[in-house]
Amino acid sequence: MDEISDLLKLYNHENVRSISYERLSYAGGSCFCDYTKLLFNQDTGLKLSDYSRDDEIFEKWKIEKITEKLKTMNDHIRSINQDVEICLHTSLAKGWGHEARKLKGAGVNCVMPHIAHFPISQTEFNNLLDSIYPNDIILQVCVRNKSLSNYDIWIKTPQIIQNIGNWIREYKEDHSNLKGVVFFNENTVSDENRRAVYQLISDF
């Protein structure tokens, strides 16, 4: 919490109207650190090693714990800046501890899913955004065209960027909770991809 306090005080300016942070969550699989095992046993009376990913008891428990932590952190943020909008970077993947209908109660104003890290179809895109309802959404779209030797992400082309833009435009027609989009990875974007993004923005 000290780091959050320091950041909010450092950026105490009228133009700072929102804050977004990397997901506060469990990993997608099972966590068997001593603290988690102890807390799970205290809360449920059960032994964590008897459960694994997708077990309903474990999944519900993770959602409860993460929701509590989100609310604690967001309450702290608003104790410093009561008017700030809070966005959470998450795609609500199973196992993370995020439940769409609990996020607003935990103080989250907006969900920022990363929607193009790996290859995705329009149907998958639509299904992902549907799963985030009723939360407001600001999309994060990586438009890099360079891969990393240890991180095999989806290499974008101008055509892929245009396709994603078309999906966004079509989805927005019937979904008022889609509020915006952020294109990122400036340092690994070709001139062609940059022009494709600028064209997309002008078309919007």
- Are residues 26 and 95 in contact, defined by beta-carbon separation less than 8 angstroms? yes
Quick one: 201 and 123 in the same domain?
yes
Integer Cα distance of 204 and 198 in angstroms: 10
Mean pLDDT on 10-15: 79
Q: What is the pLDDT of residues 65-76, one digit of tens each?
A: 999 999 999 999
Asked if residue 141 and residue 63 are part of one domain, the reply reads no
Q: Is residue 91 part of a domain?
A: no
Q: Is residue 103 part of a domain?
A: no
Domain assignment present for residue 36? The answer is yes
Is pLDDT above 70 for 87? yes
Q: What is the pLDDT of residues 155-194, one digit of tens each?
A: 999 999 999 999 999 999 999 999 999 998 877 889 999 9
Q: Which residue has the tokens 């450092």?
A: 10
- List Cα–Cα distances, 197 to 142, 161, 185, in angstroms: 11, 7, 12
User: pLDDT per residue over 97-149, tens digit each?
Assistant: 999 999 999 999 999 999 888 899 999 999 999 999 999 999 999 999 887 78
Instruction: Give kind and range of the element (H or E) at residue 141.
Output: strand 136-142
Domains of the chain: total: 2
**Which two three-digit tokens encode residue 201?**
């923005």
What's the pLDDT at 4? 78
- Report the pLDDT value the prediction gives residue 194, as an integer from 0 to 100: 93
Burial 159-196 (b: 16+ CB within 10 A, else e): ebbebbbebbeebbeeeeebeebebebeebbeeebbeb
Supply the pTM of this predicted model: 0.88
Within a domain: 197 = yes
pLDDT for 28 equals 60
Within a domain: residue 97?
Answer: no
Residue 150 binned pLDDT confidence (cut-offs 50, 70, 90): confident
pLDDT at 23 over 90: no
Is there a single domain that holds both residue 72 and residue 144? no
3-state helix, strand, coil in the chain (%, to 5): 50, 15, 40
Shared-domain flag, residues 6 and 77? yes
Query: In this predicted structure, what is the pLDDT of residue 131?
Result: 96
pLDDT for 31 beyond 70: no
> Do 189 and 122 share a structural domain?
yes
Residue 121 lies in a domain: yes
Same structural domain for residues 79 and 123? no
Are 93 and 23 within 8 A, CB to CB? no
pLDDT at 29: 58
Q: Where are the alpha helices (DSSP H) in 2-142?
A: 2-10, 34-44, 56-80, 122-132
Given pLDDT bands bounded at 50, 70 and 90, which one contains residue 24?
confident
Whether 107 is in a domain gets the answer no
Q: Which domain holds residue 58?
A: 1-86
Residue-level pLDDT at 30:
58
